[in-house]
């Protein structure tokens, strides 16, 4: 397995608490999110990780080097990291086309079992969905019909028989990666770069069959606000060690 780990952003909603520190280096229970990612990569035999960096990139590169926990790291620098995350994924579009690749947000705390569920999915292309989560306008939600995901957005609307929050992880095949790369390129060629990468996922989902695996029984959280850091340390981590 290969991974594309998106870690270029500023983390504006946390910047007042952790000045000049990338979100992925915030310590949670004595370890950063990056350290925890690579522990799982190593445990699950990932062979290489493409890490897209931008804000305070030197701090990330200095901590990890060219290899960490036995996993090779390829860095891609996004000089336009203050724009939407779509440009970060666009820069890694060639890596999207490699076999058995997981595209990941880096600001997520999760156990190895969550990633294992994605890797072992029968779907060659799959998201992870937490169906327990309700739509609030903040989370990226997945909308599915008959087991297939058709939409990802903060507000889904009607017409889905199953929906839930996406964890920010997508497993794709090389053929699906080619389709996704085409849509990413289309957005960038049109100058639409101040949006999130999920905007390019929606036309991709109309063209490519993508399933999902449910993970609502597992502890995980995205880190956006200080309360997420506190919840991660005091609620999610203890559940991960049960």
Q: Along the 242 residues of the chain, how does pLDDT read in single tens digits?
A: 899 999 999 877 776 667 788 999 999 999 999 999 999 999 999 999 999 999 999 999 999 999 999 999 999 999 999 999 999 999 999 999 999 999 999 999 999 999 999 999 999 999 999 997 677 778 999 999 999 999 999 999 889 999 999 999 999 999 999 999 999 999 999 999 999 999 999 999 999 999 999 999 999 999 998 999 999 999 999 999 87
What is residue 44's DSSP assignment?
T
Structure confidence at residue 169 (pLDDT):
98
Structure confidence at residue 93 (pLDDT):
98
Structure confidence at residue 9 (pLDDT):
92
- C-alpha separations of 97 from 69, 84, 113, 152, 220 in Å: 25, 21, 25, 21, 28
Q: Is 153 helix (H, G, I), strand (E, B) or coil?
A: strand
- What is d(CA 141, CA 131) in angstroms, rounded to the nearest whole number? 9
Structural contact between residues 148 and 190, judged by C-beta atoms closer than 8 angstroms: no
Mapped to the 3 state alphabet, what secondary structure does 61-107 carry?
Answer: HHHHCCEECCEEEEEEECCCCCCCCHHHHHHCHHHHCCCCEEEEECC
Q: What is the pTM of this model?
A: 0.95
**Position of tokens 């060629």?**
189
**Which structural domains are found in the chain, ordered by start?**
2-240 (3.90.550.10)
């Amino acid at each position: 397995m290969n991974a594309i780990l998106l870690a270029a952003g500023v983390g504006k909603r946390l910047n007042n608490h952790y000045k000049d520190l990338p979100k992925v280096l915030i310590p949670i229970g004595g370890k950063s999110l990056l350290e925890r990612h690579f522990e799982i990569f190593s445990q699950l035999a990932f062979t290489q990780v493409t890490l897209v960096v931008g804000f305070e990139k030197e701090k990330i590169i200095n901590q990890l080097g060219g290899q960490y926990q036995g996993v090779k790291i390829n860095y891609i620098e996004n000089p336009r990291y203050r724009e939407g995350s779509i440009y970060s994924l666009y820069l890694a579009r060639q890596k999207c086309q490699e076999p058995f690749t997981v595209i990941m947000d880096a600001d997520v705390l999760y156990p190895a079992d969550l990633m294992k569920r994605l890797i072992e999915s029968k779907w060659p292309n799959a998201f992870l969905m937490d169906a327990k989560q309700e739509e609030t306008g903040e989370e990226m939600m997945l909308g599915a019909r008959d087991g297939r995901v058709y939409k990802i957005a903060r507000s889904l609307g009607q017409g889905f028989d199953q929906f839930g929050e996406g964890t920010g992880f997508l497993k794709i095949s090389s053929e699906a990666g080619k389709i996704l790369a085409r849509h990413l390129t289309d957005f960038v060629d049109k100058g639409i770069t101040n949006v999130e990468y999920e905007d390019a996922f929606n036309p991709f989902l109309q063209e490519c069959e993508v399933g999902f695996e449910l993970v609502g029984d597992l502890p995980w959280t995205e880190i956006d606000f200080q309360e997420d850091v506190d919840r991660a340390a005091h609620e999610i981590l203890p559940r991960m060690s049960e």
